[in-house]
């Protein structure tokens, strides 16, 4: 299916997830909160060793954007429909991830940094909820020079849909700007994610600049509420916030911005044209929940898989809910060989 070749492009931080079920004491020791995502500080650095010595640790290819792209690829079952760029180290983690993504059908163009190891993300799970602590390392070294190389810019040219998680705002806002401007100039669909409360709080300016180009913005209820607080909107109502985000100024007038907010087990909120529609998620009994790691990423991957096929928004949401339902019943952002989405 040549038409779908490279139709969806992702750019982000390729990280190796180091995942373990831990306990409350561990969370307290390293001052981490469930259902949150942060960048590692000095105090977190011993944590990675500590985890692997104390708990049963799994190593899973991760990174928010890479997760979404791999899930979209899995849902589409069209080899080479997706591409991905980011920075890894010249090491076995980086090689492993490249092999992993390629065998999943994703066309990865990693930039290999000579100086830093491949980034990692500690995934601490308690009662099925997760906390993410990312040590970006090589992922933080991505440069727009790599993006501008002809073989990489070709992926941008070829794509009709682009997805970048908000996490990449801390790494290469200039790469985001280049891709966003290209999308606006060529009427392509540019999509992003609020990604984490800290992005909304501490990267407000670069986030706002990028948002003006965004056609579909994803996020969860916590991020939406943080966004509202930071912008002085004085409302905690997710539906109101979703509408307000969709109505923020837009750099290109071709597509109206659509806001899609997930709320865990509560309905998905979609805001467009000043109106909100809610869609229930698939019920999952608590005992079937393994962990929520990758749930939001999987939702986006499922959603985008139908968006690129030009399906209506309710189908996109249904696919998102299907994919996240699969992922939360497994450890990390992993999935069975074939999707069972009708």
User: What pLDDT, on a 0 to 100 scale, did the predictor assign at position 57?
Assistant: 93
- For the chain, the distance separating the N- and C-terminal CA atoms, rounded to the nearest angstrom, is 20
> What is the pLDDT confidence band of residue 1, given thresholds at 50, 70 and 90?
low
Q: Residue 123: how many CA atoms within 13 Å on its side-chain side?
A: 29
Long-range contacts of 196-202, Cβ-Cβ distance < 8 Å, separation of 24 or more: 196/36, 196/37, 196/38, 196/166, 196/167, 196/223, 197/36, 197/222, 197/223, 197/226, 198/37, 198/38, 198/39, 199/166, 199/167, 199/169, 199/170, 199/223, 200/166, 200/226, 200/227, 200/230, 201/226, 201/230
Question: What local confidence, expressed as pLDDT, does residue 53 receive?
Answer: 93
Query: Could you confirm whether 205 is annotated as catalytic?
Result: no
- Mean pLDDT for 305-323 is 98
Torsional sign, CA 191, 195, 200, 205: negative
Locate the domains of the chain by residue range.
Answer: 2-14+63-118+138-328
Residue 311 has pLDDT above 70, yes or no: yes
**What average pLDDT does range 106-132 have in this prediction?**
95
pLDDT tens per residue, range 41-63: 999 999 999 998 999 999 888 99
Residues in the chain: 342
pLDDT at 2 exceeding the cut of 70 = no
Residue 308's pLDDT is what? 98
Query: In sequence order, what are the beta bridge partners of 165?
Result: 193
Report the pLDDT value the prediction gives residue 28, as an integer from 0 to 100. 97
Mean pLDDT of the chain: 95
| Residue of 80, 166, 66 whose CA lies nearest to 118 | 66
15-21/58-62 β-pairing = antiparallel
**2-14+63-118+138-328 fold:** 3.40.1190
| Residue in 23, 113, 297, 340 annotated catalytic | 297
What is the per-residue pLDDT for 3? 87
In this prediction, residues 2-15 reach a mean pLDDT of 94
Q: Any idea what DSSP says for residue 117?
A: P
């Amino acid at each position: 299916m040549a038409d779908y070749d490279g139709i969806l492009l992702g750019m982000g931080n390729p990280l190796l997830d180091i995942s373990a079920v831990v306990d409350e004491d561990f969370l307290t020791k390293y001052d981490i909160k469930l259902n949150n995502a942060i960048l590692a500080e000095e105090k977190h650095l011993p944590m990675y060793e500590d985890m692997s010595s104390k708990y049963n640790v799994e190593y899973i290819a991760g990174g928010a954007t890479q997760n979404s792209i791999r899930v979209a690829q899995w849902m589409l079952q069209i080899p080479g429909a997706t591409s991905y760029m980011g920075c890894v180290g010249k090491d076995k983690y980086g090689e492993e991830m490249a092999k992993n993504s390629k065998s999943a059908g994703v066309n990865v163009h990693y930039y290999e940094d000579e100086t830093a190891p491949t980034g990692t993300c500690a995934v601490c799970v308690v009662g099925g909820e997760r906390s993410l602590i990312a040590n970006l390392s090589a992922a933080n070294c991505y440069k727009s020079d790599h993006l501008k190389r002809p073989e990489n810019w070709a992926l941008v040219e070829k794509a009709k849909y682009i997805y970048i998680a908000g996490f990449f705002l801390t790494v290469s806002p200039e790469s985001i700007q280049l891709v966003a401007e290209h999308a606006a100039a060529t009427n392509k669909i540019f999509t992003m994610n609020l990604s984490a409360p800290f992005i909304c709080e501490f990267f407000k300016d670069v986030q706002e600049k990028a948002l003006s180009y965004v056609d579909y913005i994803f996020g969860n209820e916590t991020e939406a509420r943080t966004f509202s607080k930071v912008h002085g909107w004085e409302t905690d109502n997710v539906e109101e916030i979703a509408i307000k985000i969709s109505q923020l100024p837009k750099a290109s007038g071709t597509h109206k911005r659509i806001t899609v907010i997930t709320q865990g087990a509560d309905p998905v909120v979609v805001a467009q044209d000043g109106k909100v529609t809610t869609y229930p998620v698939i019920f999952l009994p608590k005992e079937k929940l393994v962990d929520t790691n990758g749930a939001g990423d999987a939702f986006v991957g499922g959603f985008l898989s139908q968006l690129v096929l030009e399906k209506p928004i309710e189908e996109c949401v249904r696919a998102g809910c299907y994919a996240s339902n699969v992922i939360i019943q497994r450890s990390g952002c992993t999935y069975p060989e074939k999707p069972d989405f009708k």
